[in-house]
Amino acid sequence: MSFKAGFIAVVGRPNVGKSTLVNALVGQKLSITSHRPQTTRHCIHAIATSADYQMVFVDTPGIHIGNKKAINAYMNRAASASIKEVDIVLWLVEAGKWGKEDARVLEHVSKTQVVVILCVNKIDKFKSMDCILPFLNKVGQKYQARELFPLSAFNKQDCQSLQALILKYLPKQAMIFAADFITDRSEKFIISEFIREKLMRHLQNELPHDLTVEVERYKLEGNLVRIAACIYVNRASQKSIVIGHRGEMLKLIGTEARQSIEHFLDKKVFLQLWVKTASGWSNDRRALISLGYD
C-alpha cells in the first residue's frame, strides 16, 4: 500500500497562528481566526485528501496558563488530549517570542512519543532569515524536535513545503474519512463559528470570551438556506453592547457572517440573529455541555 493517511495535531499557545495555518494547509476556511487569544475553543478536524494521501489536521484550542473558568479548563483538556491521539504533532511557536505559555506547551509535547515538527511561524515579520537564526537556536536547545521548520502561514510555498515534510512521516494506511469529507464537524457547527468569528473581531477586548453562539434553526429551501442563531452572553448588560446603537453592531455582524456562510455553503443565506442572557454559562459545566462544549 502506497497511500498514506493520518492525524496531525496543530498545537501551541493562544494566538500563534494555528487556525490560519490549518486553513492554508487544507485550502479552505474551516477554522475561525481573529487577533484575539482563545478564538478556537474546540478541536476541529480539517481534512486534505489527494490521490496519494489524506491529512487530517486537528486544530486545537491554545494551551494556556490558568483554568479560571470551566471553559478554560475544557479548552486545555481538549488541546492536551489531542496530542495523545495523533500520528504527528505540529507545534507552533512565534518567531522571536517565547513565554510562559510556550513553556506550558513544551510540558505537554515532551510527553508524546510521536513525530514532532516544531514550526516557527510568522517569519515574514523579520527582514531576513539571519535575524531569526538566534531564536531558532534557542528553541532548538529547549526541545530537540524531529524537524525544525520556519515558515509564514500566509506563504503558499511554505505551506506546500510543510505538507511535503508531513507526508514524509505520515503512516501508510487506508483513507480514514470519505474522499469528499472536508471536516468531521456539522454545517451548523461551522456556521455558529463563523458568527462567533465576527463577534470576536468587532467587540471589545473582554466581551468575546463571554460569548457563544448556537444555531437553532437551519432550513434548506431550494438554493436558499434559512438560518436562525442565538448569541448567548453572560450578563444582561452585555446584550446592549452586542446589539449596538439602534442595532447597528448586530446588523454588521449579521451581514459579515452571512457573507462567510454563503461562501462556505455556496448558497444564498437568510440569517436571523438574536441575543439572550445565559448567566454564568462559561463557568457552568452543565451549560457548557448543552452548548456543545463536551
Neighbours of 293 (CB within 10 A): 18
Across all residues in the chain, what is the average pLDDT?
Answer: 85
Residues 6+ apart with CB under 8 A from 77: none
Neighbours of 230 (CB within 10 A): 18
CB environment 171-190: b (16+ within 10 A), e (fewer): eeeeebeeeeebbebebbbb
Q: What is the DSSP letter of 134?
A: H
3-state secondary structure of 224: strand
Rounded distance between C-alpha atoms, residue 71 and residue 76, angstroms? 9
Helix axes 156-169, 18-26, angle to 10 degrees: 80
3-state secondary structure of 230: strand
3-state secondary structure of 115: strand
pLDDT at 234: 85
Q: pLDDT band at residue 52, thresholds of 50, 70 and 90?
A: very high
Q: How far is CA 231 from CA 17, 61, 208, 246, in A?
A: 26, 21, 11, 17
What would the mean pLDDT of 226-234 be, rounded to a whole number? 93
pLDDT at 248: 94
- Which amino acid does the sequence have at 100? K
What would the mean pLDDT of 218-244 be, rounded to a whole number? 91
The predicted-structure confidence for 101-121, as pLDDT tens digits, reads as follows 899 889 888 888 899 999 999
The predicted-structure confidence for 121-132, as pLDDT tens digits, reads as follows 999 988 888 888
Specify whether the CB–CB gap between 200 and 210 falls below 8 A.
no
Residue for grid cell 468531521: 184
Chain length of the chain: 294
* The pLDDT of residue 31 is above 80: no
Residues 6+ apart with CB under 8 A from 118: 91, 93, 139, 140, 143, 145, 147, 148, 149
pLDDT at 185: 84
The predicted-structure confidence for 8-23, as pLDDT tens digits, reads as follows 999 988 888 888 999 9
**Percent residues over pLDDT 70 in the chain:** 81
Q: CA quadruple 90, 94, 99, 101: dihedral positive or negative?
A: negative
Q: pLDDT band at residue 235, thresholds of 50, 70 and 90?
A: confident
3-state secondary structure of 18: helix
What would the mean pLDDT of 151-169 be, rounded to a whole number? 95
pLDDT at 64: 46
For the sheet with 4-12, list strands across it. Answer: 44-49, 53-59, 4-12, 88-94, 115-121, 147-150
What would the mean pLDDT of 31-46 be, rounded to a whole number? 67
Grid cell locating 98: 517565547
Grid cell locating 37: 487569544
Domains of the chain: 4-169 (3.40.50.300), 187-290 (3.30.300.20)
Helix axes 100-109, 70-83, angle to 10 degrees: 40
pLDDT at 283: 60
Specify whether the CB–CB gap between 49 and 129 falls below 8 A.
no
